[in-house]
Amino acid sequence: MLQNIRDKAQGWIAWAIVILISVPFALWGIQSYLGIGSEPVVASVNGQEITQRQLDQRYQNFRQELRRQLGAAYRPELFNDQRMRKEVLKRMVREDVILQASHDMGLRSGDQLVRAAIMSIDAFKKDGRFDQQLYERGVRLQGLTTTGFEERVRRMLLSDQLSQAVQGSTFITEHELDETLRLENQTRDLAYFVIPAKDFVDDGAIDADTIKAYYEAHQSSFRSPEQVKLQYILLNATTAGKTLKVDDAALRGFYNSHQEKYGIPEQRRASHILIRLDKDASPAAVKAAKQKLLDLRRRAEQGEDFAELAKANSQDPGSAAKGGDLGFFGRGLMDPAFEKAAFALKPGEISEPVRSRFGLHLIKLSDIKPGRVKPFEQVRAEVEKQYRKSEGERRYFEMAERLADLSYEDPSSLDPAASTLKLEIHESGWIDRNGNGGEGVLRSPKVLAAAFSPDVLEEHNNSELIELDQEQSLVLRVVDHREASIKPLKEVREQIVNTIRSERAANKAKAEAESRLARLRAGEELASVAGDYPVTRRKGVKRSDRSLPPVLLKAVFRSPRPAADKPVPGMVAMLGGDYGLFDLLAVKDGSLEGMDLKQKQQQREQLRRRLAKAQFDHLVADLEAHADISYETPVGQKK
């Protein structure tokens, strides 16, 4: 057929075909014709668009920076991807608002300023100087060109100009400082007691009509949440290691390479004489210390007791009195230079002067305690366990990629992936969107988000590979699902009875508290009003106090100042239906008294920075309120 078209596509036929193809290309361009001309837009600020690609790139940079900052503490399962994406997008919108406002105000970042900023970045320096190759490589690792990176720096500098202009012009008056410290450092004296709701609980029967009426009035409280049952494959170093075939040769090789795991390593006993030196000690000081140690070494080799020489000359307060004896130690415990020298000596030998971070040492090896290693046959099970873990860590990433491919190729079942990789399929109980019913990894926000995603829940597909942490991932599918529903009355009857009793008890506790509050306001002493309830007295309570119930602390600091030493009574509802009654006895304002000039200046600067940040945040909030900002639905998400 294609040959027929070719044979006939001559003359006017060929021209007709060319014209038909050319028209859409001319009208819309080749990219639009192929459907790749425009990028999805996720937000716009006064007509300035933020694309999906820009958001993805910024989000990846954010994740990389987070991983770099947290290091080994980085745990991907603690971060909700969708929520973090929204926060990154909001930050991008905020930056665009600031940049546009800065540009409208006439602020600019010149090329010279941009170059200076880039050349000051430590990551692009080698031996303290800017390195062009290091710069270009670092920029490429971020997925940028040098031009794109320079534009990013230009935008950052421009944004900083507005921030610095606002914050740099902020100042604090003496009155503002006095008032702030007066309130923030204020302390209060009080006495209080608590009326527990449990003292008013009535265990009597509650009639069926009351229970039914409560059930019908509060049905939203008895809603059974939407739940799913899952099948899942969990992959980590341990599960990857279980798939390995092992033999004695491999295990013996691992055993021979890691004998320190299966016994006590060699230990050495040494004595030393230390002459302390700072790390930046002058060459003359180092030379003098070295000569002194060489003289002491010569004296020891001529028969003088090394221990006595150490007692008289060593500057190590921990060992000098013991003749320099450091006892037995293994590798990894001493300074590296000291350890290297000590493990190179034979018993009775004295080293040359050795430099460590503490100074110069003269080391004498006293004894060697040989290492003892358990026979292979005795530790074979432990060797196999550690071998599988070690090799599993190596194979983990390879298997994770294969698991992702297999579960995607057949999205209707986990059986092919489990069979091919020889992994176990686990099943869960009923789990709701908050993780109730799940255990361990099944409570991970990432797992829950995937389980209730439309693709998994509604389309019945396997999930994508879910990275739980750096060495653990999971693929899941939903095998059963039940919608949210109202629990039947018989199922929640006991719960309703307990709730009614608690509410009635809380109401009685409140009535009792109001009655006693009236007595306090009439002038009766708190101790008398408290009766059998214990009274707690506190002096000098600060706003930051954590020993008082938060609601009580808040109520105390909201109370008016006592006049003429007359206590100010108050009442506050506490957790569990309890009620607290208190007397505010005295208020002492904070002040600058007792602070030296440096402390006062520190207080002033801290307050100035807080006020400056608040002013800048108010400015940005106002700019955002007056900007035309719109958010679109990101690709892959539902509104």
Question: Where among 352, 370, 388 does a domain terminate?
Answer: 370
Q: What are the pLDDT digits (tens) for 360-403?
A: 999 999 999 887 777 887 888 887 788 777 776 777 888 888 89
Same domain, 286 and 352: yes
Q: What are the pLDDT digits (tens) for 149-186?
A: 888 888 788 777 887 877 778 888 878 878 878 888 89
3-state secondary structure 49-99: EEEHHHHHHHHHHHHHHHHHHHHHHCCHHHCCHHHHHHHHHHHHHHHHHHH
Q: What are the pLDDT digits (tens) for 334-348?
A: 889 999 999 999 999
Same domain, 581 and 519: yes
| Residue 424 neighbours by CB under 8 Å, 6+ apart | 233, 239, 418
Considering the domain boundaries, does residue 617 fall inside one? no
Q: Evaluate whether 376 touches 426 at the Cβ level (below 8 Å).
A: no
In this prediction, residues 223-229 reach a mean pLDDT of: 92
Same domain, 385 and 479: yes
| Residue 316 neighbours by CB under 8 Å, 6+ apart | 272, 274, 324, 358
Closest CA to 383 of 257, 266, 471: 257
Q: What is the DSSP annotation of 263-303?
A: EEPPEEEEEEEEEE--TT--HHHHHHHHHHHHHHHHHHHTT
Residue 274 has pLDDT above 90, yes or no: yes
Same domain, 242 and 383: yes
Same domain, 203 and 280: no
Across 68-186, the runs of DSSP E, i.e. the strands, are 125-126, 129-130
Distance, CA of 166 to CA of 605 (rounded, Å): 15
Residue 24 has pLDDT above 50, yes or no: no
Q: Evaluate whether 147 touches 135 at the Cβ level (below 8 Å).
A: no
Distance, CA of 608 to CA of 169 (rounded, Å): 10
More confident residue, 354 or 471: 354
Q: Evaluate whether 319 touches 309 at the Cβ level (below 8 Å).
A: no
The confidence score (pLDDT) of residue 1 equals 42
Same domain, 453 and 548: no
Q: What proportion of the chain, given as a percentage, has pLDDT over 90? A: 42
What Cα–Cα distance (Å) separates residue 94 from each residue in 57, 260, 305, 434? 17, 56, 75, 31
Distance, CA of 371 to CA of 274 (rounded, Å): 28
Distance, CA of 404 to CA of 425 (rounded, Å): 15
Total number of domains in the chain: 4
Same domain, 216 and 302: no
Kindly provide the b/e burial profile for residues 577-608, where b requires at least 16 CB atoms within 10 angstroms of the residue's own CB: bbbbbbbbbebeebeeeeeeeeeeeebbeebb
Residue written as token pair 């449990």 = 198
In this prediction, residues 464-488 reach a mean pLDDT of: 90
Kindly provide the b/e burial profile for residues 57-84, where b requires at least 16 CB atoms within 10 angstroms of the residue's own CB: ebbeeebeeeeeeeeeeeebbeeeeeee
Closest CA to 103 of 158, 164, 169: 158
Residue 18 has pLDDT above 60, yes or no: no
Residue 331 has pLDDT above 90, yes or no: no
Q: What proportion of the chain, given as a percentage, has pLDDT over 70? A: 91
What Cα–Cα distance (Å) separates residue 516 from each residue in 331, 422, 601? 71, 71, 48
Considering the domain boundaries, does residue 44 fall inside one? no
306-313 and 283-301 helices, crossing angle to 10°: 150
Q: What are the pLDDT digits (tens) for 40-88?
A: 888 998 988 888 888 888 887 787 777 777 766 666 655 667 788 888 8
Same domain, 505 and 580: yes
- Give bridge partners of residue 587 from the DSSP assignment: 188
Q: What are the pLDDT digits (tens) for 117-131?
A: 888 888 888 878 888
Question: Where among 313, 337, 370 does a domain terminate?
Answer: 370
The confidence score (pLDDT) of residue 638 equals 40
Same domain, 435 and 354: no
The confidence score (pLDDT) of residue 102 equals 83
SS3 content of the chain, % helix, strand, coil (to 5): 55, 20, 30
The confidence score (pLDDT) of residue 75 equals 61
**Secondary structure of residue 244 in the 3-state scheme:** coil
Q: Which H/E stretch holds residue 147?
A: helix 146-168
Domain holding 214, by residue range, is 186-220+492-588
Q: Evaluate whether 393 touches 279 at the Cβ level (below 8 Å).
A: no
Same domain, 270 and 355: yes
**Strand order across the beta sheet in which 325-329 lies:** 325-329, 267-276, 359-369, 354-355
Identify the band that residue 442 occupies on the pLDDT scale cut at 50, 70 and 90: very high
Contacts made by residues 463-468, CB under 8 angstroms, sequence distance 24+: 463/407, 464/404, 464/408, 465/400, 465/403, 465/404, 465/407, 467/76, 468/76, 468/77, 468/441, 468/444
Considering the domain boundaries, does residue 207 fall inside one? yes
Same domain, 473 and 502: no
- Ramachandran class of 541: left when φ > 0, alpha when ψ lies in -120 to 50, beta otherwise: beta
The phi and psi torsions of 226 (rounded to 5 degrees) equal -60, 135
Same domain, 470 and 540: no
Q: Determine the distance from the C-alpha atom of residue 383 to the mean position of all C-alpha atoms in its chain, rounded to a whole number.
A: 35
The confidence score (pLDDT) of residue 171 equals 80
Question: Where among 313, 341, 370 does a domain terminate?
Answer: 370
Considering the domain boundaries, does residue 54 fall inside one? no
